[in-house]
Structure 1
Amino acid sequence: MEQNGRDRFEIPKEMRSMAEAGFDQARKAFEHMLSSAQQTANAIEGRGASVREGAKDVAAKAVSYAERNVTVSLDYAQQLLHAKDLTEVMRLHTEYVQGQMKALAEQASELGQIVSRAAMDAGRPKE
């Protein structure tokens, strides 16, 4: 099975060198891709924690607002029960509506700030 002193299936040195160089390049590219994928996965995992923390903050604030709004509404209903006349009912109603409008505007603003902060934290690269 020899031909000119060589094994018929022997790969010339130049081709072997080219194949090895190509293989080394492919291995390095694969290792780089794998490293990048791991870094991306870690970044996403970190952002997930930030998003969960932000969601907790929003939920806690929303529950706090709901408790406050229910308490104010119950107080208003109790005051209406003790009103002596229509003038007092109208005054209580005006005060309640104005107070609730102001409170809702403040609550919406605060929630917007919390959501914005959470979004910025989630988008910030982990160190």
Structure 2
Amino acid sequence: MAKDPMSSFEIPADMRRIAETSVAQAKQAFEGFMTAAQQAVSRMESQTAAAHAGATDASRKAMTFASQNMAASFAFAQKLAQARDVEEVMRLQADFLRSQMQTFAAQAQELGTSFTQTAADASRRE
């Protein structure tokens, strides 16, 4: 039986190095964006009234989730950049997708609970 040509394909070290540099630069740019976004959210939060506490909590959670998801994505990209063959790339991709689906489900549940609590609190204030 013929060997799968893709299983013996090795990603050149120079290509991996370029990919790693690109991932590092993108991560650095994203971290700068997240810092600016978090500062903007903090400024906005300082101007909101106590009645918006639930929305503030939700926005903080959303920012935290976005940051966590991007960190996971950059870690995944770094692993991909270091992959030595297509088989490793496929395994990393499957593991990442499985992990992210579980993470997204947990995050959605947490946000849903937060929104429900905010709505309940708002209805009690009325």
Please state whether the residue corresponding to 1:84 is helix, strand or coil: coil
1:45-64 map, 5 Å: 49-50=50-51, 52-64=52-64
Deviations 1:30-74 (A, max 9, x none): xxxxxxxxxxxxxxxxxx743x00000000000000000000000
What is the Cα-based RMSD across aligned positions, in Å? 1.4
* TM-score, structure 2 normalization: 0.59
Select the structure that is richer in helix: 2
Which residue does 2:77 correspond to in 1? 77
Between the aligned residues of both structures, percent identity stands at: 40
Question: 2:106 corresponds to which letter in structure 1?
Answer: E
Q: Displacement, 1:96?
A: 0.5
Q: How many residue pairs are counted as aligned between the two chains?
A: 78
Structure 2 alignment gaps of length 5 or more: 1-48
Q: Displacement, 1:125?
A: 4.0
Verify: 1:86 aligned to 2:94, yes or no.
no
Question: 2:95 corresponds to which letter in structure 1?
Answer: E
Structure 1 alignment gaps of length 5 or more: 1-47
Verify: 1:65 aligned to 2:65, yes or no.
yes
| Aligned counterparts of 2:99 and 2:112: Cα–Cα separation in 1 | 20
* TM-score, structure 1 normalization: 0.59
User: Of the two, which has the highest radius of gyration?
Assistant: 1
